[in-house]
Amino acid sequence: MSQRRAGAAIMLASCVLIGMHQSDARVPQAAPASRAEDLAAMAARPHVLFRDTTSGANFGRLTMTSLDSPNGERRWAGVTCQRLSFAGGRGLCLHLQRGVFNSYTALLLDQDLKAGASIKLEGLPSRTRASADGRVGAVTVFVVGDSYAAAFSTRTTLIDLASGDQIGELEEFSTWRDGARFRAVDFNFWGVTFARDGNLFYAALRTRGLTFLVRGDLALRKLTVVRENVECPALSPDNRLLAYKKRVGPSPDSWRLHVLDLQTNVERMVAAETRYIDDQVEWLDDRHLLYAVPRRTTTISDVWMAAIDGAEPARIFLPQAESPIVVR
């Protein structure tokens, strides 16, 4: 693992604040999971998977609801997750096990949302995404003690979702900028999003106080810097647009949602959402974004929806929920 500089600590605010808030929440008494046949019946239709933030027995539970009626009936799987991802019949649940010292694992999920192999994580879960074909997953955690110079740093690992084997950490890939090899001792990667082909992906890179959008080639184990000042990218279902948060002010939390047209290279701010948003968005469809917004002074978050063209104001799509994943 390469040495990190103190600048990595600044990036902590961009992803870890919500995770710390969740980890400090009171431990609820777990409720029984929904019946397998009820989960299967709902999963047979387009649905949304998410982390339940309702106070009580289902807090943190991997939860499902119908895409057509997101405020309707909820059904619960048998695991709790800090973050989750799912696509192509496979997924990842980043799980917290409380104890004298908290431990973290990535649980492989099958098509029935049952947990399989467990992968030990070396730090606090932050982000996860699965490729559309269910072949590859990405996990980002915050780790402590990677160097003497930095209080916090990230580790982003690509995982074979069929076997649970580690494909590699992004720091092990070669990084290029303006046609030349790009190296630094303080690289931190996070916020992976996969293209439909399962090989191309995007992620955020922070180094020397700057943040970059990188495009990755899994087969070549290569990363290329393509844009500056981008965090937590997310590809649209048609792979034409890339949504992300972008810093617009000097304060550490001054992020606004933006959308980049990858064909024209035209970027625009999402006017429907005027607040500072700290999340990696999920696309509801090719026109709408989903993202979590925490309520003040509570452990509850809500999933909001914003139209990228600003044609309608942002609104709550799914109350008392976060980490949404749309499954069609």
pLDDT tens profile 132-153: 999 999 999 998 755 534 445 9
Domain boundaries, the chain: 8-327
pLDDT tens for 13-41 read 444 444 434 444 444 456 789 999 999 99
Query: Measured on CA atoms in the order 242, 248, 251, 253, is the torsion positive or negative?
Result: negative
| Residue 3, pLDDT above cutoff 80 | no
Q: Quick one: tokens of 188? A: 């931190």
Query: Measured on CA atoms in the order 169, 257, 19, 133, is the torsion positive or negative?
Result: negative
pLDDT tens for 67-119 read 999 999 999 999 999 999 999 999 999 999 988 889 999 999 999 999 999 99
As a whole number of angstroms, the distance between CA 29 and CA 186 comes to: 41
Q: Quick one: tokens of 269? A: 């701010």
Confidence of residue 9 (pLDDT cuts 50, 70, 90): very low
Q: Under a CB-based contact definition with an 8 Å cutoff, are residues 197 and 162 in contact?
A: no
3-class secondary-structure state, position 225: strand
Percent of the chain with pLDDT over 90: 81
pLDDT at 227: 96
Superfamily covering domain 8-327:
TolB, C-terminal domain (2.120.10.30)
| Residue 171, pLDDT above cutoff 90 | yes
Predicted TM-score (pTM) of the model is: 0.90
Beta strands in 40-151 (DSSP E): 47-52, 61-66, 74-80, 83-87, 90-97, 103-109, 115-121, 124-130, 136-143
Q: Under a CB-based contact definition with an 8 Å cutoff, are residues 47 and 324 in contact?
A: no
Q: Give the helix/strand (H/E) hosting 37.
A: helix 36-43
